[in-house]
Each structure stands twice: as structure tokens, then as C-alpha cells.
Amino acid sequence: MFLPALVDVAVGNDDWVVFASSAMLTLFTGVSFALMTWGHAGSLSIREAFVLVVAAWTILPAFAALPFAFSGLELSYADAFFEAMSGLTTTGSTVISGLDTAPPGILLWRSLLQWLGGLGIIVMAIAILPILQVGGMQLFKVEAFDTAEKVLPSAAQLAVSLISFYAFATGLTALLLWVADMPAFDAINHAMTSIATGGFSTKDGSVGFFASAQIDWIIIGAMIVGSLPFALYLQAIRGRPQTLWKDTQVQVFFGVSILFVALMTFYDKATLVEPDALTDLRYAAFNVISIMTGTGYATQDYSLWGPFATTLFFFIMFIGGCAGSTSCGIKIFRFQVVYEAVAVQVKRLIHPNGVFVPHYNGKPIQDSVTASVMSFMFLFALTFGVAAMALTLMGLDLVTAVSSAGTAIANVGPGLGPVVGPSGNFSTLPDLAKWTLSFTMLIGRLEIFTVLVILTPTFWRG
């Protein structure tokens, strides 16, 4: 919070007082908690780890909302919490209008939240979720920590290396954007939210404001970098680059991305969205990658491209990137596990006496992993349906309710339609809807089970 305060001081904006005050209050609370538990740290049980993760991702947005609530933007606390939760979960949905004239401290704070949230989710996906065995993430427990395929000697070194690579990728993106004639402040902000696949922009028109092919392609590259497994980047840096390209999850991610980009390019060309084929390719690639990876940037209002485009974007928002990345959604590896499980069942129907084992990256998939992934998919769909129905009960129209619920649980950003689509925002929604969507963002970001498990009576009785 002191960083945006310094920026506001530099430009003479009074909001520096808000950031400084919020920083002091947050620091006082954090130090108080630390002193109360000093010397009592020990190994966490699984139950304590679940509570810690959910508590951290709930308390952090509560304090991160303070600058929004007390700034000159005159946001309610519901709005402020929604914006903070959207930032830290790298969702990218916003309630703020007039970004073009907003104070630089607020713009930087939004970007910092997404940057830190993206880093936090990488560390959590590599170090915590595999241990908690959430949604099939136990597949990656060996990849991150087992001595046979150790990325780094310890979890502490792993975290330092992740932060270093994450910062390097952000800095390189900012430099490239600046060279492409994006103003330095905008370049820094867009670099942070591109690598984090978050999608907060400094402009109401998002990336489309800059109307630059160079900027579009640079950000496409940054979104892809943020959507690949960061543990594999570290292995590549340490002399094993083949691990990144041979990973089947990475291969499927690129295959699916190319397929949808090609499909949307041909559709755009057929409907004459742009007379130039290269421009069609650029718009199709940018918006497909942005929505599929859960970033949520926009260069155009794709809801105006016709019903096919709208339907396609609605479905690809649930796909997400790779596990262990800043991306969100269901994740590529889960589709791979489901495909393998279905393929095995089909083979068993044809050859009842045959022995068939599903594989992922050349290794057998345990039944517990398959069951965990199937349970995740079911709960994901159920949570999405419940959230959508709840929003319709609050008076939202069907398109707004369904797309808002979808974009919240998949942590994408913009929804569909004139209210929450690429050209709108979530400011007009009732406060109860914003709280509901904030909770849905939390559930989606923490992989469903992590939140729902602590809501069960059995968890507390055990």
C-alpha cells in the first residue's frame, strides 16, 4: 500500500493519505497477529492448512479493500471488497468506471493486487494444493517436491526462484510494451496484469484503447507465459527445457488454443468483422487467448460479433490454462484426466476382459485422482448453477446472471451482454449480488473443495 501512496504523492493526489492510513492499519493488525502467535509455529495439520488458505484469501481482500472504500472514488464497502477480491483472485471484473481519469495510485493498487494474487496462486498450486489433494492436484505433488524429479532442493528455494522468474517475466513484458510505445506507467500496470492473467487495465477501453498490433501480440505472449506451468519453467532454466515442451498439458493447451483461434478467425472473416485477414487473426487470437486463460482483456466488444462468437466465448471461459500457472478455470489437465477415464471405459465396454489403465504424461492415473477430478467437475458445475440461480432471484436477467456466475467461478473478468460484457462493468449490480460473486470468485480461485470442505460439519467434528 505504500507504493501507491508514493505514486500519489509524486503526482499531488490526496489519496496518498488513504493508502498510508490503510497501510498502517494493515501493518498494525498483521504485527499484532504475529506477536500473539510468536513462538507457537509448528507443522500444520491438513485441517489447519485448509483453514489457513481460506482465511488468508478472505482476510487479505478485506484489508485490500480499504483504499478503494476510503478513496475519492466513493465506493461502498461491498464495491471495494468486490474489486479487491477480483484483484487478488485475478478475476478482472470491476465496478470502477472512468479508469482513464482515475488516480494513478488506485490504478497501481489494482495491478499490484492481481500481480500478488497471481504469484500467490502459483505458490499455492505447487506447494499446498497437491498436499491437500484438491481436485486432482495430487498429480503434481511428485513433480514439485519428490527427490526423483526435484525442481529445487527446498520449498523456500522454490518460492524464491518462482518470485525471481515471475518478476523477470513481468519486467521483460513491461519493457517490450514500453518499446511498443505504450506509456511507461501503463506498460508496468499491463505487464503485471498480463503475466498474472488478471486483466485489470488502466483504461475503460482495456487494451483496445491503444489500438496497436504490436501491443496486442506482446500481451498475447505474456498471457500465454502466465498460463503455462511455472514449475516447468524452473526445470527449463536449470537445463531441462524439454520438460516444458514434452508436457502433454502444455501440448494440449497450445492445440486447443490454435484450434479456437483458427475457428474464430475463419468466423470473423466470414462475417467481415474486419476486412483485413491479419487484423481478423489478431482480434481472434487476442480475445480467444484472453478469455480462455481467464485474463479478461478485450480489444473489441466481442458480444457484438454474433451469437456464434458469444456462445464460443461463454464455453471457452471455463477451460483455463495449465495447473501451476496464474491461469484459472477448470484447467487443461482435468479435461485430459476425464478424457482418459472415458476412453478407458469405452475400451472396457468393447473388450470386457481387457485391462486398460488411464495415463497422464506417460504415468498411470490412480483411481483416487480420477475420482477427485470427477468430483471437482461436478461441484464446479453445481456451484456455477447455484450462483446463477441466486443471481436471477436478485432480479438479474438470464444472460447477466449466467455469464456473471460463469465469469466469477472461472475467474475470467467480463461477462456477456450490455451490463457486464466487455463494454460494461459490475457497478450496477445490487450489493447482495456483488457479495455473492465475491464468494464465487473465492470458491473458483481456491479450487472449490478448499472452501466447501470447511463449510461441512464433519470437518469441524473430526
Residue 144 and residue 282: Cα distance in Å, rounded? Answer: 36
Closest CA to 254 of 337, 173, 322: 322
Q: Is 43 exposed, middle or buried (0-12, 13-18, 19+ CB in 10 A)?
A: exposed
Q: Please, which pLDDT band fits residue 149 given cuts at 50, 70 and 90? A: very low
Over the chain, what is the mean pLDDT? 90
**Which range among 122-126, 381-385, 453-457 shows the weakest confidence by mean pLDDT?**
122-126
Please check whether residue 280 lies inside any domain of the structure.
no
- Whether pLDDT at 145 is above 80: no
Kindly state whether residue 99 falls inside one of the protein's structural domains. no
Cα–Cα nearest to 447, from 162, 125, 195, 126 = 125
Kindly state the average pLDDT of the residues 386-400: 95
Average of per-residue pLDDT across 182-193:
97
Q: How many residues does the chain have?
A: 462
Q: Is the pLDDT of residue 27 over 90?
A: yes
> Does residue 416 belong to any structural domain of this protein?
yes
Model-level pTM?
0.92
- Give domain status of residue 424, yes or no: yes
- Over residues 205-232, the mean pLDDT reads 95
357 pLDDT higher than 70: yes
pLDDT for res 273: 63
b/e per residue 168-207 (b: at least 16 CB within 10 A):
ebbebbbebbbebebeebbbbbbbbbbbbbbbbbbbbbbb
Asked if residue 160 is part of any domain, the answer here is: no
Q: Is residue 373 part of a domain?
A: yes
Range of lowest pLDDT (126-140, 254-268, 350-364) = 126-140
Output phi, psi for 253, to 5 deg: -60, -50
Q: Tens of pLDDT along 161-176?
A: 889 999 999 999 999 9
Q: Is residue 455 part of a domain?
A: yes
Q: How confident is the model at residue 49 (pLDDT cuts 50, 70, 90)?
A: confident
Mean pLDDT of 227-248: 90
Dihedral (Cα; 226, 230, 232, 238), 10-degree rounding? 110
Residue 147, pLDDT score: 33
pLDDT in tens, 397-451: 999 999 999 999 999 988 898 899 888 899 999 999 999 999 999 999 999 988 9
Q: Which three cell numbers stand for residue 411?
A: 475467474
Query: How many structural domains compose the chain?
Result: 1
Is the confidence at residue 226, as pLDDT, over 90? yes
Residue 223 grid cell: 498471457
Q: What number is the average pLDDT over the span 262-290?
A: 86
How many Cα atoms sit within 13 Å of 280 on the Cβ side? 17
What are residue 123's DSSP bridge partners? none
Mean pLDDT is lowest, of 48-52, 98-102, 333-337, for 48-52
Q: Is residue 430 part of a domain?
A: yes
Range of the domain at 431: 363-461
What is the distance between the alpha carbons of residues 118 and 130, in angstroms, rounded to a whole number? Answer: 17
Percent of the chain with pLDDT over 70: 95
